[in-house]
Structure 1
Amino acid sequence: MKVILSWLSVTLMTVLISACSAVGSTDGGAGEIEIRSGKIEQISLTQMQTNHDSGVGAVLGGLGGLALGSLIGGGTGRDVAMVAGALAGAAGGNYAEKKKYDQPVEAQQIIVRVSSGVLVSVTQPINPSLAKGSKVYIQGSGNDARVVPQGS
C-alpha cells in the first residue's frame, strides 16, 4: 500500500510540476529580441494551430479521477482504483482541454525579403496593417518570430 501511495504521489507531483513549466522560452537573455528589417514580398491567408497546453485539464482530470477512485472498494483494491482513476482522469482531462482549445485560427503567411536578400517566411495571426510591398521588421526568430510594420 505504501508503494502504491508513493507512486501516486510521484505521479501527481510530476503532473503538477509539468503544468507549471515555462512555455516558449528563448535562447536569448531576458528582454533580448533579434530584429531584422525587410520588405513584404507575398502575403497569403492560411490557418495556424494554437497551443493551449497549460496542463490544467490533466491536473483537474487527475484529481477528479483520484476522488472517484477513492470511492471504490477498500484496501489494496481501493489504492489501485485511485491510481487508475487519477491516470485515466488526467488523460481524459488533457484530451478534453486539447479538444476545446486547440482549434485552428485564421492566420497569414508572410514572406519577407530581408536587407541581406534572404527570404524569410513567418506565419502569424492576421495583422490588417501589413500589405505586399510594406517595409517591416521581423522581431525574434523561430516560432517566436513576428512581422510588424516599420514606423507608425
Structure 2
Amino acid sequence: MKTIVSWLTITLVGLVLGACSAVDSVSGGAGETEIRSGKIEQITQTQMQTNHDSGVGAILGGIGGLALGSLIGQGTGRDVAMVAGALAGAAGGNYAEKKKYDQPMDAQQIIVRTHSGVLVQVTQPINPALKKGMNVYVEGSGNEARVVPQS
C-alpha cells in the first residue's frame, strides 16, 4: 500500500513540475524581442488552434479519481481502485479540458514585406485595426510573432 501511494505521489509531483517551464525571452519573459517593420501586402481570414494544453485538467482529474478510488474496498483491491481511478480521472480531465478550451478561433494570416524586402507571414487572432498597405511592426518570432500597427 505504501509503495503504491509513494509511486502515485512521485508521479503527481513529476506531472506538476513538468507543467512548469522556465521563463525567458523566447517564452515571453523578460529579455530582448526582435522587432521588424514593413507594410502589409495581404490579409486572409482563417482559423487557428488555441494552445491550452496546460495539463490542469489531467492533474485535477487524476486527483479526483485517486480520491474516489480510495473510497472503494480494502487492501490490494483498494490500491488497484486508486490507480485505476487516478488514470481514468486524468484521461477524463484532459479530455474535458481539450473539449472546453481547445477550440479553433477566428484569425488572420498576414503577409508583411519588411523594409529589407523579406516577406514575413504571421497567423494571429483578428486585429480589426490592421489593413492592407498599412505600415506595421512584426514583433517577436516563431509562434510568438505578432503584427501591430505603427503609431
- TM over 0.5: same fold? yes
Q: What's 1:149 paired with?
A: 149
- Structure 1 range deviating more: 1-10 or 64-73: 1-10
Instruction: Identify if the C-alpha distance between structure 1 residues 27 and 94 changes in structure 2 by more than 3 Å, giving closer, same or farther.
Output: closer
Which residue of the partner structure matches residue 38 of structure 1? 38
Over residues 91-144 of structure 1, what are the superposed CA-to-partner deviations in whole Å (9 max), with x where a residue is unaligned? 110110011111111100000011111111000011111111111100000000
Distance apart, 1:31 and its partner CA = 3.2
Measure, in 1, the Cα distance between the counterparts of 2:29 and 2:55.
26
> Do 1:37 and 1:137's aligned partners in 2 also have CA atoms closer than 8 Å?
yes
Change (3 A) 1:23 1:57: farther
Deviations 1:33-85 (A, max 9, x none): 10000111100000011111222211210111011101111011111211111
Contact 2:25-2:32 within 8 A present in 1 as well = no
> Is 2:72 the counterpart of 1:72?
yes
Instruction: Tell me what 2:85 maps to.
Output: 85
Partner of 1:48: 48
Residues 126 and 82 of structure 1, relative CA distance in 2, 3 Å threshold? same
Query: How far did 1:19 drift?
Result: 3.5
CA distance in 2, matches of 1:134, 1:126: 15
Amino acid at match of 2:99: K
Whichever residue aligns with residue 13 of structure 2, its letter is M
Q: Compared with structure 1, are the counterparts of its residues 24 and 102 closer, same or farther at alpha carbon in structure 2 (3 Å cutoff)?
A: farther
CA contact (8 A) 1:62 1:86 kept: yes
**Residues 69 and 82, structure 1, Cα contact 8 Å, conserved in 2:** yes
Residue 62 of structure 1 corresponds to 62
1:29–1:81 CA distance, 2 compared to 1 (3 A): closer
Give structure 1 stretches of 5+ with no counterpart: none
Unaligned runs of 5+ in 2: none
- For 1:105-116, list aligned pairs within 5 A: 105-116=105-116
State the SS of the aligned residue for 1:120. strand
Amino acid at match of 1:87: L
What is the count of residue pairs matched by the alignment? 151
Is contact 1:15–1:58 with CA below 8 Å preserved after alignment? no
Structure 2 matches for 1:111-126, cutoff 5 A?
111-126=111-126
Asked if 1:98 corresponds to 2:98, the answer is: yes
Q: 1:22 deviation in Å?
A: 5.1
CA shift, 1:20, in A, is 3.6
Query: Identity over aligned residues, as a percent?
Result: 79
